[in-house]
Chains A and B, each alone.
Chain A
């Protein structure tokens, strides 16, 4: 297991390195640069050129890349071009804000989706299952920004139950209760989206397991239904769900740009769009790296959890004992 993990981490580092090169090249191939965005179009190209020179943007792309990667290896994510602010000062607080938002939405949806999906797998096409289906369709079909605006119109502007946007009320930055109130609407929007897919996965995965021979055998042996579901079926059903959760881990830091925009949440998704718009190469690279690392971690965690959930899985070893 340890050897496997080490090998996996080394491979990941190589992949991340290749991705940085690819991303760097592709970003530079896109038209417009930080100076173009920063300066109004009426200003002369000489000013563009001088600004670019002052920022080191006139250097060949490989030179810029090696500067950046050199700094990165020393733990320095670089600076924004338009105003020379350290990327790390901008990035980490936003990741924190996004984790709060996405984490809350993720947790809420998991807590509802998994038990509900499992329950529905035992009562297929019952009222609960059909209600869940309806909610799933709603979650898949409804554009998040539209749902967000709808909630704002009714629950904030008309009824005044919740704050309209932002993370805190001015002057109440330390209040957890205030943060909670600001979370309700965006979490509702995001959780509905997650809920729909997790519930489907949980239900489908459970149904598949319940259809297998060993479950039939258990039932035939007269094992109680509750025991069949929770002791025999659940563990196996959780494996594919864990895979999905592992792969979804990066969304916890990646943010949801539209929802963050609608609710003016100062998170990663919104920031990434801003930085992309401004052609802030260093910032985009930093986000790419962080996301790539999260993907790797997500995969590793999923693999580790497989072992925990199902000890029969012996990762990376050929010829493990067949079960």
Chain B
């Protein structure tokens, strides 16, 4: 009997351990840049990365295999459902987009775009007419036609599909087929960022037309290579879950520019460290994120070319303005001077130099540096100055407590919890710097790392925290960020999780997207930059980047080099790359 009890309890313990494992686990998504796409930013006026000495300028050769990799597998490459980095990586090799971005982030009809020319926009800014190339074909031989575009947009707009594209297309009133190769979009309002929404892969209506929106996620299109009809230079021929994807050049590809590389293997590694070892061994030719801590070691190896440049993402500290999150309902961040003092107290340049090893740029507004919407000097730059910080805090009524030096106002100690996701080493380090910097001016910070899924579920989405350390990863080059900062988007339905309300900004965001005249928009975003950097719902920390590593087999001409400042820019112009053995 005693023995029986032992194995019964053994089973129970096993299952409990399994469950605990679930509770404690962290998340790949979290480990990386973590964050929402959806926000928008300006086109990056960058030049080809100068760190790339790579690829020989010899004549391209056809054939060969490029092995690229990631540390997470795809979820679904159906363009209607793509919402994670790995799925986006694979999708952009096998699906053609209506339009593509050039290195500066401008929308273009390229040789490999489905559209034949830039869209015609009506004078009132309300209709966009898109002409498709009549040569474009799906991998099953069917032509790519207006019906496919209409179907894609209608499915994306339909709430029942649960598509992450909904926010890009919900201002489209109607989408109509004019003829087989012409589509007309009529907007319900002028919405300038819509041009970037057209930088989008589409799905084949002839394959999916009978699928109900609610069944889209369960459909094999996007998860079964045999059932995924594609339109890009490569076809998706095999997927070994958790191991690799095989993409073969489509012999019937319609584009005038054909891919040089015959086969792409997209390998899945367990984590970034394993991936870095693999590129050093030559098991993979291209990785898109070498951890900052390992960049020097990889450089020392001498075989790998590294492209290091800030990307389309920025980190921030988000204050919560909802008093309910603080003891006695006393919001610590209500005073504008208090927030400005915190900005002065943080050594942002120190974070860039020491934690990001120089691969980052300070930011004062939610627009990436050197882009057309960057407000430049119009935004307030908070230099690192503890004395100024102390002075501002004193002006706002904070007085140092005689016992421990922590500031007190109306009987409330200036002590708050700074939440971030566990497992992100960059944030762990930054949180420690913030804690030290603010301690120097009399503010107590209690950094708290939480498992990603639990954090999003219980704190971020419902707006329940005191302060966050988080980042936005921007997936379109448009500067509109209404959905993050406007009081229209309070939790739980919106992304303004800090409950920030500023009526002037609320209006400016609408003004910003209600004209398609870029010069006017630039002026508006300058005003946004000034207002937001003065009022400071966030302390904008820095734009940061991940180092792209490429092995000696991969080659490109300089104008086709990877462009880290663009979403999926690590594969910029991959159609023109070539490999040697």
Contact = CB atoms under 8 A, between A and B. Distances in A.
B76 A50 contact: no
A261 B271 contact: yes
Interface stretch (A133-141, A200-208, A266-274): A266-274
**Most central of A42, A47, A288 by chain B CB within 10 Å:** A42
Interface in A34-57: 36-48, 50-51, 53-55
B323 interface: no
Contact of A277 (B28, B164, B492): B28
B76 A41 contact: no
Contact of B38 (A11, A43, A271): A43
Interface string A84-96: 1100011000100
**Most central of A39, A44, A273 by chain B CB within 10 Å:** A44
A291 interface: yes
Interface residues on A, range: 35 or more
Interface residues of B, number: 80
A245 interface: no
A54 B214 contact: yes
A23 interface: yes
Where chain A touches its partner, the secondary structure class is helix
Nearest to B160: A50
Given A50-B159, A55-B217, A85 B10 contact: no
Given A45-B492, A54-B217, A165-B274, A36 B12 contact: no
Given A15-B8, A46-B493, A299-B7, A276 B22 contact: yes
B15 A264 contact: no
A83 B22 contact: no
A292 interface: yes
Interface string B113-156: 00000000000000000000000000000000000000000000
Nearest to A267: B242
A26 B281 CA distance: 42
Interface string B257-279: 00000000100011101100110
B264 to A, nearest CB: 12
B11 interface: yes
A284 B18 contact: yes
A103 interface: no
A27 B83 contact: no
A213 to B, nearest CB: 25
Given A19-B12, A31-B453, A40 B37 contact: yes
Contacts of A270: 242, 270
Interface in B477-527: 483-484, 492-495
B223 A84 contact: yes
Interface string B1-33: 000100110111011101101110111110000
Contacts of B27: 37, 277-278
B456 A288 contact: no
Contacts of A85: 223, 241
Given A43-B164, A277-B25, A156 B75 contact: no
Interface of A: 11, 15-16, 19, 22-23, 26-27, 30-33, 36-48, 50-51, 53-55, 79, 82-85, 89-90, 94, 149, 152, 156-157, 164-166, 170, 247, 250, 260-262, 264, 266, 270-274, 276-279, 284, 287-288, 291-292, 295-296, 299
Given A41-B461, A90-B241, A276-B25, 8 more contacts: A41-B456, A51-B162, A94-B242, A165-B269, A273-B21, A284-B18, A291-B18, A296-B11
